Amino acid sequence: MSLHLKRIYEPKDDKDGTRILVDRLWPRGLSNQDAAVDIWMKDKAPSPALRRWFGHDPAKWTEFQRRYRDELEKNPSAVEELKRQIGPSDATLLYGAKDLHHTHAIVLQRFLGKD
In the structure, what pLDDT confidence band is assigned to residue 115 with cuts at 50, 70 and 90? very low
Report field, pTM of the whole predicted structure over 0.85? yes
The chain-wide mean pLDDT, for the chain, equals 93
- Count up the domains in the chain and report the number: 1
- pLDDT one-digit tens code per residue, 37-91: 999 999 999 999 999 999 999 999 999 999 999 999 999 988 898 998 888 889 9
Mean pLDDT in residue range 87-104: 94
Contact 100, 4 (CB under 8 A): no
- Domain assignment of residue 38, given as a range: 3-111
Torsion of CA 39, 43, 49, 54, to 10 degrees: -50
Give the number of other Cβ atoms within 10 Å of residue 9's Cβ: 15
